[in-house]
Structure 1
Amino acid sequence: MSKTSATPGLGPEYNPLVSPQLEDPHAFLARARREEPVFFSTVLGSWVVTRHADISAVVADTARFSSAESITVGAATTPPEVIHALMDGYPLVPSLVDNDPPAHTRFRSLVSKAFTGRRLTEKEPFIRSLVDELIHTFVQEGQADLFLRFAHPLSSSIIAEILGIPRADISRFRRWSDDLSTVLAAHGPVDHQVACARGVVDFQRYLASALEERKTSPREDLLSDIITEGQAMTPPMSMAELVSLLMQVHFAGHETTAGLIVGAVELLLNNPEQLQALRNDPSLIAGAVEEAVRMTSPVHAMFRTALEQVEIGGVTIPKGAHIRIVYASANRDEARFHEPERFDIRRPDVKKHLAFGQGLHFCVGAPLARLEARLALEALLRHLPGLRLVPGQNPGFLRSVTVRRHESLEVAWDLKAP
């Protein structure tokens, strides 16, 4: 018998943007999978789906579940002051992850070729050089914040290189990414949200200016490809569409990968037997990266909208309902993975995870994320002997409805004799 209403249940307890669930969401999600795998969150105004089988079914069923508003908690929760501030910029129109066919296909075609195997092979020497360059800046210090000094600059610089953004502007892009996270989550004091909305507008204007410049002076970068090919489409892409697309590509291209790298290091350092296995057999690196993707789930969750009344896991969901699909929960589902809480770099069924999505919306940048993480881990283990976590730290996590990553991770290592 299916449930037919948004009964209280676990819903009032679920708030992934505050402590303790911000720091450790998995205890609550495991409880939800056992007790109420589909429930209504009164905080988010969304139905929450936690089991692997149910999430996989939702993602695969594009006829009944729309990807519109897949990265926001919904326009109804955005304060009017924030909406007013955003009106000074371009409309936040659907583009890549928050779109449905056939429009989604148009957007994906503009960026997919930037992440092909051939393009990534061409970028690998640059990535290797950048990894070593960043490590060289702190290797003699014996301790560093791995997120601020390595993972975030690495992923930011790589996506900047692909887009064609000067490295000198990367610090501005980090601030704008944080602003975008706040606006999408509609979280925090209204005056702070308004300030972040103004930052989003600055972000849009920067991208629009860069695209206009590429119209007359194209280069070998994604900005040039997007403006040239976008204008050649029928109908041509508007500036609002292109700017929204670039904001998504930039945000996804560095926030999630930085989170993956830092999360992978933390997992390895907290599981010394797995770290030693990797040191003994470097060919296990691909499995280590994939298992880290499963356990960290940098894209923690996304949303769908029910296009008709549907039933998920025995629960009736009304037409028009917003649905939060929690990939991080699916990736630790006991019904799909053996001992899902155990970090195992030899896990045979690891690629059943949903951390990169599935089907139509499978992450276009997944090959790049895997490459960055592999090269980063190899270099860190090679250059930083005795790598270990600094005890007693409180790393903190980004407040986002979609992305989960550390805000810092302090590590130490043994200095080599001069």
Structure 2
Amino acid sequence: MATTETGACPFATVRDSSEERIEASKAVVSDIVDEILAEYDRLRESCPVAYTSHYGGCWLLTRYEDIKAAALDSDTFISSVRAVLPSDPRGLRRPPLNFDAPAHTPYRTALDRTLKPARINRLAVALERHAEALLLPLLRKGQGDVCTEFAAQFAAWVETEWLNLTPDTAPRLAATASAWVDAWRRMDGERTTQFSTQLYDIARAVLTDRRKNPRDPEEDPASSLLLERTKDGEPLEEIHLVGCIRQSLVVGMVAPPLMIGGICNHLSKDQELQQQLREDPGLIPAAIEEFVRLFSPYRGFSRTVSKETVIRGHTIKPGVPITLTYSAANRDPAIFDEPNRFILNRPNIAMQMGFGRGRHRCVGQPLAKL
């Protein structure tokens, strides 16, 4: 258990080491998941606002209503101090995730412009080809690692098509992003910088090219960003433009392997559901919503408060991170009946928070659902 301050409730710390996950058997992983879910249940019931000394000290929310209220109140719960835990060991801040409005707005507007339904439909054609090509080797040999051999590679192609990168970028992006995530999880600042620099090189090259060869801003994120202006009418700063593209490269690489792995693991155990979706593909969108609720790839994002704030009797002070645990919210029995069970076409599935809420909801949500 984590050490705690007097009067605050403890919560269990989940180990994130890649080596530990690789070495763990399926039975052990299942036990760990059950332990985490049980801890969420305990906290929601007896200590919905918990404190731990881990990560330098932070608060944790586990009830749906508290998490939703905080996510929607971006004036009080700000992202510019701490937006994730553990944070980048170098302390860097990139838009739009680490910016608050109004500084956040032009970056978000630019990215949203390139993810309208018409563009998503066009991307679907190319992405289906990539999916089939990546799955074929696994199907031929009858086995494989769906996370590393398919999902991580496919995510790189999604980024490559969305950002209009050259085809040779996809395999390089997959390898570099994976190494960067592993270094970050280990809090290895040197290797985090090494692989992050490679991602920055990709981002700078894209921005340099778009300055020379601008594209349709509704089809190209970098070109869209170059059109945006600050609230004072000034062009966006170069360092933040590069940072935004660099962040876009990474966030789309982390979640898909986790999400697709969770989906495939579930379907391997639920043959009836698998067959149902094969026979009626029209059910897949509803199934995806329930999978996102159950297997939220980002357990939560963090905020700090802009002013001293009281939540359920606990005083939260500015500067101290408070984590909005979306994975706990999505399993809150006060909101979702039988929260740990897959239920196709839940009547209130639109309330799931796997993509967050408010100004900082997942910008890539349309791509993720596709």
Specify the TM-score bucket, using the shorter chain as the normaliser.
0.7 to 0.9
Once the two structures are TM-superposed, the CA of residue 168 in structure 1 deviates from its matched residue by 1.8
Contact 1:56 1:358 (C-alpha < 8 Å) held by counterparts:
yes
How big is each residue's C-alpha offset from its partner over 1:48-77, in whole Å with a ceiling of 9 and x where there is no partner?
1111111001111122110122124357xx
How big is each residue's C-alpha offset from its partner over 1:374-406, in whole Å with a ceiling of 9 and x where there is no partner?
xxxxxxxxxxxxxxxxxxxxxxxxxxxxxxxxx
Inter-CA distance 340–206: structure 2 relative to 1 (3 Å threshold)? same
Alignment of 1:33 onto 2:62: no
Aligned equivalents of 2:257 and 2:87: distance in 1? 26
Correspondence list, 1:139-288, <5 A: 139-181=139-181, 185=185, 187-188=186-187, 192-219=188-215, 222=220, 224-226=222-224, 228-230=226-228, 234-288=233-287
- Bigger mean CA deviation after superposition, 219-228 or 297-306: 219-228
- Bigger mean CA deviation after superposition, 356-365 or 14-23: 14-23
Give the one of 55, 70, 73 matched to 1:58: 70
Once the two structures are TM-superposed, the CA of residue 111 in structure 1 deviates from its matched residue by 0.8
Contact 2:226 2:235 (C-alpha < 8 Å) held by counterparts:
no
Aligned equivalents of 2:41 and 2:309: distance in 1? 24
Aligned equivalents of 2:6 and 2:250: distance in 1? 33
Question: Aligned residue pairs: how many?
Answer: 350
Once the two structures are TM-superposed, the CA of residue 182 in structure 1 deviates from its matched residue by 5.1
Once the two structures are TM-superposed, the CA of residue 126 in structure 1 deviates from its matched residue by 1.0
Ranges in structure 2 where 5+ consecutive residues have no aligned partner: 21-27
Contact 1:54 1:313 (C-alpha < 8 Å) held by counterparts:
no
> Per the alignment, in what secondary structure is the counterpart of residue 39 of structure 1?
strand
Contact 1:210 1:223 (C-alpha < 8 Å) held by counterparts:
no
Ranges in structure 1 where 5+ consecutive residues have no aligned partner: 84-91, 372-418
How big is each residue's C-alpha offset from its partner over 1:355-376, in whole Å with a ceiling of 9 and x where there is no partner?
11112222221121111xxxxx
Inter-CA distance 280–213: structure 2 relative to 1 (3 Å threshold)? closer
Aligned equivalents of 1:231 and 1:176: distance in 2? 31
Aligned equivalents of 1:118 and 1:6: distance in 2? 54
Once the two structures are TM-superposed, the CA of residue 285 in structure 1 deviates from its matched residue by 1.0
Q: CA RMSD in A?
A: 2.6
Contact 1:8 1:40 (C-alpha < 8 Å) held by counterparts:
yes
Contact 1:115 1:367 (C-alpha < 8 Å) held by counterparts:
yes
How big is each residue's C-alpha offset from its partner over 1:234-257, in whole Å with a ceiling of 9 and x where there is no partner?
321122101211122122223223
Contact 1:156 1:170 (C-alpha < 8 Å) held by counterparts:
yes
TM-score (norm 2): 0.86
2:133 maps to a residue whose letter is E
Correspondence list, 1:113-124, <5 A: 113-124=113-124
> Per the alignment, in what secondary structure is the counterpart of residue 144 of structure 2?
strand
1:310 maps to a residue whose letter is T
Once the two structures are TM-superposed, the CA of residue 101 in structure 1 deviates from its matched residue by 0.8
Inter-CA distance 350–224: structure 2 relative to 1 (3 Å threshold)? closer
Contact 2:48 2:63 (C-alpha < 8 Å) held by counterparts:
yes
Aligned equivalents of 1:117 and 1:295: distance in 2? 26
Contact 1:155 1:254 (C-alpha < 8 Å) held by counterparts:
yes
Inter-CA distance 74–174: structure 2 relative to 1 (3 Å threshold)? same
1:155 maps to a residue whose letter is A
- Matched with 1:364 is 363
2:209 maps to a residue whose letter is E
Aligned equivalents of 2:75 and 2:229: distance in 1? 29
How big is each residue's C-alpha offset from its partner over 1:226-280, in whole Å with a ceiling of 9 and x where there is no partner?
4532479832112210121112212222322332222212122222332233234
How big is each residue's C-alpha offset from its partner over 1:173-227, in whole Å with a ceiling of 9 and x where there is no partner?
2343235435655x34xxx431221221232133113311221133465254145
Sequence identity of aligned pairs in percent?
26
Aligned equivalents of 2:6 and 2:322: distance in 1? 12
Alignment of 1:49 onto 2:64: no
Contact 2:103 2:230 (C-alpha < 8 Å) held by counterparts:
no
Inter-CA distance 54–232: structure 2 relative to 1 (3 Å threshold)? closer
> Per the alignment, in what secondary structure is the counterpart of residue 304 of structure 2?
strand
2:169 maps to a residue whose letter is D
Aligned equivalents of 2:289 and 2:347: distance in 1? 11
Contact 1:179 1:197 (C-alpha < 8 Å) held by counterparts:
no
Moved over 4 A (4+): 18-23, 182-185, 230-233
1:96 maps to a residue whose letter is P
Aligned equivalents of 2:6 and 2:318: distance in 1? 13
Inter-CA distance 254–138: structure 2 relative to 1 (3 Å threshold)? same
- Bigger mean CA deviation after superposition, 16-25 or 124-133: 16-25
How big is each residue's C-alpha offset from its partner over 1:103-160, in whole Å with a ceiling of 9 and x where there is no partner?
1111111111111101111112112222222222332111111112222211210111
Alignment of 1:321 onto 2:348: no
Contact 1:271 1:343 (C-alpha < 8 Å) held by counterparts:
no
Once the two structures are TM-superposed, the CA of residue 8 in structure 1 deviates from its matched residue by 5.3
Contact 2:78 2:304 (C-alpha < 8 Å) held by counterparts:
yes
- Matched with 2:25 is none
> Per the alignment, in what secondary structure is the counterpart of residue 355 of structure 1?
coil
